[in-house]
Amino acid sequence: MNTPAMTTSAVPSGRWERLAKLGSLAGSVAGGMLAEGARQFARGQRPRLGDLLLTPSNVRRVADQLARMRGAAMKLGQLLSMDAGDLLPPELAEIFARLRAEATAMPMSQVVAVLGANWGEGWDRHFQRFSFTPVAAASIGQVHLAQTRDGQDLAIKIQYPGVRRSIDSDVDNVATLLRISGLLPGSLNIEPLLREAKSQLHAEADYLREAEYLRRYGALLADAGEFLLPEVHAELTTGSVLAMSRVDGVPVESLSDAPQAKRDHVARLLMALLLRELFEFRRIQTDPNFANYRYDSATGRLILLDFGATRPYPEVMVEAYRRLMTAAIAFDRPAMSVAAMAIGYFQAGILDHQREAVLKLFALACEPLRHAGAHDFGRSDLAARIRDAAMALSADRDLWHTPPADAIFLHRKIGGLYLLAARLKAMVNLRELGQAVGLVPAVGPQRAAGPIAA
């Protein structure tokens, strides 16, 4: 497994230490504003507040500090970047895009302290080898490779210290910082997203919960030989350390130059899995991060990693989505509206043009399901049309209604898979996959998809 070079920095674990980091960030941003203002005045220009806030140096300051803090501070940025989309200023989107890509690891001393707290003194007795250089680092934890005394190769995910107890205060403090700095539009109501971010982060920080979902998915996919999942090593797994069998593969996005048939096969597997998750399992691994998928070139199997963001979906919502997708495939606008109302998309007082804008987004998202034959994600302009429709909807910010959390996370996953399929330049017959789960009639006329009128 090739490991990207990582910088290391200690994770601030105390509540006041983390608050101080945010305070110093606010001061640093303010200092940057003053310096930029002075430069513009010296050039005879009258600076605007937004120009002073969103300078490249301030963008870099915010992204770097949140990356060093990790935990909820970093995860909130990742959630906002995926879910708020075109509602955010481009400069803020850049901050959060950097947070998705950056990897800052704990130093060895902190790793040793965390393992000692979870496994006790002399924890190294379990291993022949333990690599202190992580192979991956993310917002909540980092992954190390090890080999047990009896020769088992393991991947061990270690949670950053203090993450769990700092979740609520981190989310509140970062949101406040973004508000008072002007980096978030004042009209954007992110309160529901903040509540959901806290709930989701508490769930993701429970590694015993993730281990249970990993076991459950292993059982659910026992009949699907195309997938490979790690197995939980129960003896070494705790609430803050997840020990799993090591599974190696290449990053899934590295297949972009593979033969067309292989790229199509991988994208088809992931989209078929999502439909099974929603309509059969009624639970979805909602994190579309490309790093959660790898490809085993020797066996041709797709490796599934990281089940911390798995969410159960209530049957009533699953059936409402079934009705919504079926209606979108059939161009039945009234039935789409009824299903969207059942999911929770429309609040009292929504205007007709806003309702139509939401329905247009649904129709666009379901376009590949209507397409007769394989949809070419590499050549399609679907992503651009969805973006334009989302921007039109976001223009009415004063009346924008945040949908239920389950819906946000489902759309996040769908959008992530579409993006991956486009990256792979894959062609997938989604109509055929829809037939397998009862969304599309097995027989009957097929209507070629095209742009949907608002």
- Quote the DSSP letter at residue 205: T
Instruction: Tell me how crowded residue 393 is: count the other CB atoms within 10 A of its CB.
Output: 19
Give the chain's domains with CATH numbers.
Answer: 7-102+165-185 (no CATH), 107-159+206-247 (3.30.200), 249-454 (no CATH)
Burial 205-216 (b: 16+ CB within 10 A, else e): bbbebbbebbee
Collapsed DSSP state (helix, strand, coil) of residue 126: helix
List per-residue pLDDT tens for the chain, 454 residues long: 344 455 655 544 444 444 444 444 444 444 443 344 334 434 444 434 344 344 555 555 555 555 555 555 555 555 554 444 443 455 555 555 555 555 577 889 999 999 999 999 999 999 999 999 999 877 788 999 999 999 999 999 999 888 888 788 777 777 776 666 555 556 556 677 778 778 888 898 999 999 999 999 999 999 999 999 999 999 999 999 999 999 999 999 899 999 999 999 999 999 999 999 999 999 999 988 888 999 999 999 999 999 998 999 999 999 999 999 999 998 899 999 999 999 988 876 677 877 887 888 888 889 999 888 999 999 988 877 776 766 666 555 554 556 787 887 888 888 889 989 999 999 999 999 999 998 877 654 444 444 444 3
Give the tokens for residue 319: 């059936």
Catalytic residue among 64, 83, 287, 306: 287
Reported for 216-219, long-range contacts at CB under 8 A and 24+ positions apart, including other chains, are 216/283, 217/285, 217/304, 217/307, 217/310
DSSP string, 65-113: HHHHH-HHHHHHHHHHHHHTGGGS-HHHHHHHHHHHH--EEPPHHHHHH
d(CA 368, CA 305): 26
Give yes or no: 206 in active site.
Answer: no
